């Protein structure tokens, strides 16, 4: 069974608007971590934001915030004030207690001018 599900293969957003990229996860662990990475067309993987399962506050990093709803097992990424340079693939990932990391299939975000 998929541990990380990203249901949006592709998303479009107008420049300067906000966009939410969905991510749901499946785990029976109490302790886990959730990550979002960006992969531009150059192929590099860029860490964006992290949320620990015991963190009570939603994580924020600049224009990125993570909408963490533990009971629903969702960890959506919100990008505010989209920029053309935000166009990329976005991957949600989960690290469970034993340490391995599982990635979702990704969402391709296109920011339109």
Partner 1 sequence: GAGVSQSPSNKVTEKGKDVELRCDPISGHTALYWYRQRLGQGLEFLIYFQGNSAPDKSGLPSDRFSAERTGESVSTLTIQRTQQEDSAVYLCASSPGINYEQYFGPGTRLTVT
Q: Binding pattern to partner 1, positions 78-97, x when CB under 8 A?
A: -------------x-x-x--
| DSSP β-ladder status, 107-112 and 88-95 | antiparallel
Mapped onto helix, strand or coil, the DSSP state of residue 13 is: strand
Q: How far is the CB of 83 from partner 1 (least distance, A)?
A: 22
Quick note: the x/- pattern for partner 1 over 38-67, rule CB under 8 A, is: -----xxx-x--x-x---------------
Compute CA distances 74 → 26, 28, 92, 97, whole Å.
Answer: 9, 14, 10, 18
Select from 21, 24, 34, 35 the one that contacts partner 1 (CB under 8 A): 35
1 binds partner 1 (CB under 8 A): no
Q: Which is nearer to partner 1, 33 or 73 (CB)?
A: 33
53-86 residues labelled b (16+ CB within 10 A) or e (exposed)? beeeeebeeeebbbbbeeeeebbbbbbeebeeeb
- Which parts of this chain interact with partner 1 (CB under 8 A)? 33, 35, 37, 43-45, 47, 50, 52, 91, 93, 95, 98-106
């Amino acid at each position: 069974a998929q541990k990380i599900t990203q249901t949006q293969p592709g998303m479009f957003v107008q420049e300067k608007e906000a966009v939410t990229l969905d991510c749901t996860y499946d785990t029976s662990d109490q302790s886990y971590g959730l990550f979002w990475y960006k992969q531009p067309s150059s192929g590099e993987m860029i860490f964006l934001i992290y949320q620990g399962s015991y963190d009570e506050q939603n994580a924020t990093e600049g224009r990125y915030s993570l909408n963490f709803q533990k009971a629903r097992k969702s960890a959506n990424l919100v990008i505010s004030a989209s920029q053309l340079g935000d166009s990329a693939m976005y991957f949600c990932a989960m690290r469970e207690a034993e340490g391995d990391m599982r990635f979702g299939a990704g969402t391709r975000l296109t920011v339109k001018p």
